[in-house]
Structures are given as C-alpha cells and as structure tokens.
C-alpha cells in the first residue's frame, strides 16, 4: 500500500520496518537548499493578508545538535574527512551538510542495486552536496548533473539572472534501470533535421528514431507561474513535467518511488498518475494535509488506497502529541480541518487566532472567513470572550474553539449568546462554535459552509490522462 509519513525522514527511514533495505526503485528528493531564508505560503485576498510558515530553510550548529556526535559513529573515514574539511573552509554550509549527509546515507541503504537517486538542489549547495554524494554512492555511480532551466523570476542589478536548478543523478550500481524510450523529445527543426524522419549532415542522410531523441542533460521545462493550473500555493512546488521525466526514465509501472522531503506532493502525485507505488515523507503536518487533499481532488475514485502514518489516530495519541509538543498538536489539528496555522510550530503571539479558514457560499460574493483557536489546557468562559474579540478585531465572520477538554456550561451559554452569522438565502451559522477532541474523533462536523476554499484544489484528471500536455 502507498504511504505518507509525517516526521523527520531520518527517523522514518531508520525506524519504519516496512521501508526495508534495498527495497526502493527510485528516490527523488528536493530538500531545503540552505538558503538562509524562510519560505511562506500566502493566504491572500483583497481583505485579508496573512502568512504561515511552510518550512524554515535554515540550518545551524544549534539545530544540528546530536548529529555532529552521531557522524563519528558511521565508520566512513573519507566522508568524515570531507565534512571536517568543510567545517574549516565552509563553516556556513557545514551544519546543513551534516544534516543532509545522515539522510543521504539512509536513503542509499534503502535503494535497490538497480535503483536511481535524484537530488534536486540549487547552485548555492549543489557543489557541496555532490562531494557528499560521491562519497556515499561512489564517484563511478555518478550519472549526470542535470540543469533544469526556466524563465520565471527577476534579475539582479549586477550579474546574470539565476534561472536554473541542479539535479544530481546517481545510481546504486552499474545495473541501474534506465528506460530511454519513455522520455524521447522532438528533434529540433533546424541543424539538418527534417520532418521525414531523417537527419542530413554534410549531405549524408541518417535515419532517426521516430519517437524522437533522448533529451540532453539540460532540460528547459517551464516553472509554475502564479496562474498555472497546477499551482497549489506551496512556495517551492515543482512542475509535474519535471517529475514525469525522472520517474519514466528510471522506473516501471508498479515500482516504488520514494520522496523523503515531499512538500506539497508533486512526486507522489506524479507517481500515482503513472501507476507507480509511492512513499512520501515530510516533517510538516501542513504538507501531509495538503497532499491528502491534492490526491483526492486529482484522482477521485481512481485514487489508489494509501495510508498516513505518524499523525494521531485517536484521542489518546492526540493527547500524547500535545504533551510532547503543544505546537505540533496545534498544527496537526488545524491542518486536519484544512485551515492555515498562523504561527506554524513556533511559540509566539498569535493575536488570539491560531488558524484561519476560508469558505464559499453559493451566490454569496465574498468568501466567509473563520478564525480558529486551539486549547490543549483547561478552558474557561473568558476563552470564548477572547475568541469573539479576536474575530471581531480581525473582521472574521465566525470563530471556532478547538479544545482538548469539555467546555463548561457558562462557556456554552456564552457561545450561544453571540448569535449567528447570516449570509444570503437563509444560510445561517453559529457565530462561535466549540469542538472537543473527543467530538473530532467521533466524526462530529463543524457547522460551516460546505466548500472549504482555504487551499487551492487540484483539478480532477483521473488516471490514464495526459498529465501535463507536453513531452515528459
């Protein structure tokens, strides 16, 4: 069965018994690039502008922690010597390389001898990461440095515009699978190529493959602009055409594709559409929620059965999560309800609102905005008053209190006294609602408009459809 894992890929790869050594046919990862910036998902319309963290692309010696000590136990002298050299000559990238090295080692272990590994990065880290991959996979198993070219973005005042990413392609051994007939592209119309399926060079005529040519190691494939139908609002989302070429080149139908930093799920989405088995891992609850919705929206009844691991499945496991990490608990519950978490995993002022959702009502011109507050501790009537004050201040239409504990009678009375939000054509909803953890797991539904438009939905295409309208 296909699987989505919530968690650090290092822990998942080491501890999940179902991901066995040498069991994966193809691995693609698009990890953070050590760019020292934060990526955000924007939730934006004419009246509301807010953002939440999708992930923090910042690595430091403080965050590395025990990983430094752990590297001393891997018994790989050349790799240790390499990283120690970087600690002296490139200290700004050393913590990032330590974190990535431990994960690349584990990915190498689960890859089949016939398998392939693709590491997507940018020029700020690609040259460092290549030396790590050379040490882990062996220099002889380096296959290509693929240049993905695109046109989006601006240009610096000094220097040439940065319009490409790097994809490092390695195999586990010389026996790796490469299916070149699946990724043919058209021959150019110039340079002696003719439409009759022949190539003329210096007067000599050569027959050419009717399927086209094998693409070079530079790929011009359009990135996703803001108007793209694929666009889901995730900051580093990659086009499916890019993943199609990789997956078709190095796997067959039924093979297992793994993405250990799966983000918004382009890899697992593409693998599903190409009838591959897949495993996705991400550390962000938001990402897992987005991927679930993306797959369901895209494939509908054609969607293969899949399982989500690492998220609470009952009240006790949710309480355990709250006891371990209240902020992860908050993120999890909000993303289960498909709303934005405004603070996302970080302690800090939330201005009375932990999450924001948007909903649509038929023939109602404006979106309905709902503010969410999550409470893992004891609750009182003042929490209802505070929530009402917050949604009034931010001009939201309604508020929802999510609580681990049952509300008191005064709380229920206060919520009722705030009345209802009335839209058009008789649509009425409580101004303030309360949902307990027990009610959530029992299947209770909040009384909100049916259409949740907080996240952009993927277009339903089903399987067997053209995935992107261009050569893969």
**Domain-wise residue ranges, the chain:** 2-177+216-309, 182-215, 315-452
Range in 229-233, 369-373, 402-406 the model is least confident about: 229-233
Which of 269-273, 293-297, 355-359 reaches the highest mean pLDDT?
269-273
Higher pLDDT, 206 or 432: 432
For 275-290, the pLDDT digits (tens) are 999 999 998 888 888 8
More confident residue, 327 or 113: 113
Judge whether residue 304 has pLDDT over 70.
yes
Section 245-274 average pLDDT: 96
Predicted local distance difference test score (pLDDT) of residue 170? 98
- Report the pLDDT averaged over residues 5-12: 91
Of the options 3.40.1350.10, 3.30.470.20, 3.40.50.300, 3.90.950.20, the CATH number for the domain spanning 315-452: 3.40.1350.10
- Confidence grade of residue 472 (pLDDT, cut at 50, 70, 90): very low
Residue 208, judged by CB atoms within 10 A of its CB (0-12, 13-18, 19+), counts as middle
Name the pTM for this structure.
0.84
Annotate 186-253 with DSSP letters as a single string. PPPSSTTB-TTSEEEETTEEEE--TT-B---SEEE-PPP-TT-TT--S-TTPPPHHHHHHHHHHH--T
> pLDDT tens, 342-372?
764 444 444 689 999 999 988 787 889 999 9
Q: Is the pLDDT of residue 130 over 80?
A: yes
Region 132-146 average pLDDT: 97
Least confident of 85-89, 154-158, 305-309, 406-410: 154-158
Q: Report the pLDDT value the prediction gives residue 45, as an integer from 0 to 100.
A: 45
* The pLDDT of residue 442 is above 60: yes
Q: Is the pLDDT of residue 112 over 90?
A: yes
Which of these ranges, 290-294, 348-352, 427-431, 452-456, has the smallest mean pLDDT?
348-352
What mean pLDDT comes out for the span 317-338?
89
Q: What is the mean pLDDT of residues 89-110?
A: 92
How high does pLDDT run on average in the chain? Answer: 85
Beta strands 142-149 and 164-171 are antiparallel
Residue pLDDT, tens place only, 22-57 = 999 999 999 987 665 655 555 444 444 444 555 566
Q: Which of 30-34, 66-70, 445-449 has the highest mean pLDDT?
A: 445-449
Q: Do domains 2-177+216-309 and 315-452 have the same CATH topology?
A: no
Q: Which residue in this structure is represented by tokens 């999510």? A: 402
pLDDT of amino acid 155: 77
| Among 181-195, 239-253, 326-340, the range of highest mean pLDDT | 239-253
- pLDDT tens for each residue of 159-205: 888 889 999 999 999 999 999 889 998 877 555 555 566 777 677 78
Q: Are 436 and 407 in contact (CB under 8 A)?
A: yes
Return the percentage of the chain with pLDDT > 90, whole number. Answer: 53
Phi, psi torsion values for 220, nearest 5 degrees: -95, 105
- Give backbone dihedrals phi and psi of 353, rounded to 5 degrees, phi first: -130, 125
Gap between the Cα atoms of 33 and 122, Å rounded:
7
User: Which pLDDT does position 191 carry in this prediction?
Assistant: 52
Lowest mean pLDDT among 180-189, 313-322, 459-468: 459-468
More confident residue, 269 or 466: 269
381-394 and 409-417 helices, crossing angle to 10° = 30
Whether 248 and 182 have beta carbons less than 8 Å apart is answered as yes
* Class level of CATH domain 2-177+216-309: alpha beta
- pLDDT recorded at residue 50: 45
pLDDT score for 324: 83
Per-residue model confidence (pLDDT) at position 195? 56
Of residues 259 and 181, more confidently modeled: 259
Q: What confidence score (pLDDT) does residue 65 get?
A: 63
The predicted structure's pLDDT at residue 186: 85
Q: Are 365 and 354 within 8 A, CB to CB?
A: no
Q: How far is CA 261 from CA 133, 391, 397, in A?
A: 17, 35, 36
Which of 226, 141, 151, 149 is closest to 178 using CA atoms? 141
pLDDT at 300: 92
């Amino acid at each position: 069965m296909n699987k989505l894992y919530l968690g650090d890929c290092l822990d998942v790869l080491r501890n999940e018994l179902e991901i066995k050594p040498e069991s994966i046919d193809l691995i693609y990862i698009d990890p953070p690039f050590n760019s020292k910036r934060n990526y955000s998902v924007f939730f934006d319309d004419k009246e509301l502008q807010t953002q939440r963290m999708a992930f923090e692309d910042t690595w430091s010696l403080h965050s590395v922690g025990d990983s430094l000590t752990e590297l001393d136990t891997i018994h790989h002298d050349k790799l240790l010597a390499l990283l120690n050299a970087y600690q002296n000559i490139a200290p700004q990238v050393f913590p990032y390389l330590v974190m990535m090295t431990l994960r690349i080692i584990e990915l190498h272990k689960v890859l089949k001898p016939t398998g392939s590994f693709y590491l997507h990065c940018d020029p700020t880290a690609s040259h460092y990461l290549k030396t790590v991959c050379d040490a882990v996979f062996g220099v002889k198993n380096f296959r290509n440095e693929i240049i993905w070219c695109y046109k989006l973005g601006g240009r610096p005042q000094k220097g040439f515009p940065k319009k490409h990413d790097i994809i490092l392609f390695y195999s586990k051994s010389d026996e790796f699978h490469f299916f070149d007939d699946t990724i043919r592209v058209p021959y150019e119309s110039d340079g002696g190529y003719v439409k009759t399926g022949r190539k003329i060079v210096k007067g000599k005529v050569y027959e050419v493959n009717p399927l086209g040519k094998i693409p070079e190691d530079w790929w011009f494939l359009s990135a996703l602009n803001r108007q793209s139908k694929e666009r889901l609002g995730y900051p580093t989302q990659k086009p499916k055409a890019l993943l199609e070429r990789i997956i078709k080149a190095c796997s067959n139908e039924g093979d297992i594709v793994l993405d250990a930093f799966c983000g918004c799920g382009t890899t697992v989405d593409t693998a599903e559409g190409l009838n591959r088995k897949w495993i996705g891992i991400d550390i962000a609850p938001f990402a897992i929620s987005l991927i679930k919705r993306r797959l369901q929206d895209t494939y509908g009844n054609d969607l293969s059965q899949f399982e989500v691991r690492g998220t609470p499945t009952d009240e006790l496991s949710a309480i355990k999560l709250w006891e371990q990490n209240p902020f992860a608990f908050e993120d999890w519950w909000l993303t289960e309800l498909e709303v934005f978490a405004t603070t996302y995993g970080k302690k800090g002022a939330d201005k009375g609102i932990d999450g924001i959702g948007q909903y649509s009502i038929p023939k109602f011109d404006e979106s309905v905005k709902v503010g969410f507050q999550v409470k893992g501790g004891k609750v009182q009537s003042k929490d209802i008053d505070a929530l009402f004050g917050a949604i009034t201040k931010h001009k939201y239409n309604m508020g929802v209190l999510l609580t681990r504990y049952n509300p008191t009678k005064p709380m229920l009375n206060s919520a009722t006294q705030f009345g209802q939000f009335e839209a058009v054509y008789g649509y009425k909803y409580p101004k303030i609602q309360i949902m307990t953890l027990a009610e959530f797991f029992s299947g209770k539904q909040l009384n909100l408009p049916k259409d949740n438009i907080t996240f952009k939905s993927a277009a339903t295409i089903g399987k067997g459809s053209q995935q992107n309208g261009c050569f893969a």
